[in-house]
A = this chain, B = another copy of it.
Amino acid sequence: MSLSFEQNFKLGILGGGQLGRMLIQSGIDFNIPFATLDPDEHAPCASLAEFHHGKLTDYDTVMKFGSACDVITIEIENVNTAALKALARAGKKVFPQPDVIELIQDKRTQKIFYRDYDIPTAPFILVENAADVKKNKNFLPAVNKLGREGYDGRGVQILRTLDDLDKAFDAPGLLEELVDFEKEISVIVARNERGEITTFPVVEMVFHPVHNLVEYLFAPAQLNKTIVHEAETIARKIVHELKMVGLLAVEMFVTKKGKVLVNEVAPRPHNSGHQTIEANITSQYEQHLRAILNLPLGDTTLIQPSAMVNLLGEAGHTGLAKYAGLEDVLKLPGVHVHLYGKRFTKPFRKMGHVTIMDGDVERLKKKVSFVKQTLKVVA
């Protein structure tokens, strides 16, 4: 038996950011030739593989790019799905499938999907505009989400009081019951064309005790077995019902009463799986490649407890990026630094991440604090 991607093959990625970059880095092992498309000519992937400069949301641009590829995947959801559907009809392999991307692009259809398939999620109501939100004041406190184009915190806001109603989004979206959660967790699940499904161990986001910000990820999640099992079952069910091919990151809440509720999903490699590069036998990137190339899915076993710290642009610094404290962090045993190759930093821009491995969980947490206090992206 031999594989089709060995000679004269091209895998196209819509998006040329850090997720695409780590996908390419992993694909070197399988000798996969890549092409990427991105609107930023200095995108992290630009120097690593064949690069095309253009808009991901433009039909003709995506058609032209995809026509020269054998398999097409994404590293960002905001892409032209009409072009992807036409490419799929023309015989290209497009994974995740365009209809899955479309369903996930809109938080409204995502929530309807959860409801239709009995997947636990916070109660919600659809709203068409700001007036609609105001009609539902009895639903407060709630999260007001835009249906489309909201990500990395944009297009999401909490409405607690009647005064907050004045800032309601004036576009199709939804109101979701505010979840009183104990923890935020994530399960990355993969499915290949032949229907095999594998999950990565549950990851836990640890929050800052004062500011309500994710400080770092921790694997494995410190949860009881029942909750772990429930989270994995939910992730499997979603990817099975979607019949999608590729990787799906399922972000979930664990409520104070121990219930697991789906927050949202992303059909691609995800920030909550960066640490799998070092900490698991198969990384999320290799798993995505295995899934979309219809290879057997890899062993997701966690080798050692690990943590992942996002390296964000320091507040007050905009310009050519410098990495202060890098040497001190590199001295620390068990640390892996990943820089994304972004020339310019700006406040809170994702510039890289640090994975830390340590068999001793308490020491691991101390190292997380050290990395967060020491390594700064400045201009």
From B6, B33, B299, give the contact of A321 (CB < 8 A). Answer: B6
* Contact between chains at B296 and A1 (CB < 8 Å): no
Cα A296 to Cα B320 in complex, Å, equals 24
User: Cβ of A48: which chain B residues have Cβ within 8 Å of it?
Assistant: 28, 48
A3's partner among B326, B335, B343 (CB-CB below 8 A) is B326
A227 contacts B by Cβ under 8 Å? no
Q: Count how many chain A residues have C-beta atoms less than 8 Å from C-beta atoms of the other chain.
A: 48
Interface bits A1-35 vs B (CB < 8 Å: 1, else 0): 11100110000000000000100010011110100
Contact assessment for B296 and A334 in the assembled complex, using a CB-CB cutoff below 8 Å: no
A49 to B328, CA, bound (A): 29
Secondary structure dominating the interface of A = loop
Q: Are B298 and A339 in contact (CB under 8 A)?
A: no
Contact across chains for A295 and B327 when beta carbons are under 8 A apart: yes
Q: Which of A43-99 contact B (CB under 8 A)?
A: 47-49
A3 to B321, CA, bound (A): 11
User: In the complex, what residue of chain B is closest to A2 when comparing beta carbons?
Assistant: B322
User: Contact at A295–B330, with CB atoms within 8 Å?
Assistant: yes
Closest Cβ of chain B to A41, distance in Å, is 16
A296 close to B341 (CB less than 8 A): no
Q: How far is the CA of A338 from the CA of B286 in the complex (A)?
A: 12
A window 271-323: CB within 8 A of B:
278, 281, 290, 295-296, 298-299, 301, 303-304, 320-323
> Could you pull out 28 A-B pairs where Cβ atoms are within 8 angstroms?
A1-B324, A1-B325, A1-B326, A2-B322, A2-B326, A2-B378, A3-B326, A3-B327, A6-B322, A6-B323, A7-B321, A7-B343, A21-B28, A25-B29, A29-B337, A29-B338, A30-B337, A30-B339, A31-B339, A48-B48, A281-B334, A281-B357, A295-B330, A296-B327, A296-B331, A299-B333, A299-B334, A301-B333
Q: Which 5 A-B pairs have the closest CB atoms?
A: A299-B333, A2-B322, A31-B339, A296-B331, A31-B341
B-binding residues in A (CB < 8 A): 1-3, 6-7, 21, 25, 28-31, 33, 47-49, 278, 281, 290, 295-296, 298-299, 301, 303-304, 320-328, 330-331, 333-341, 343, 357, 378
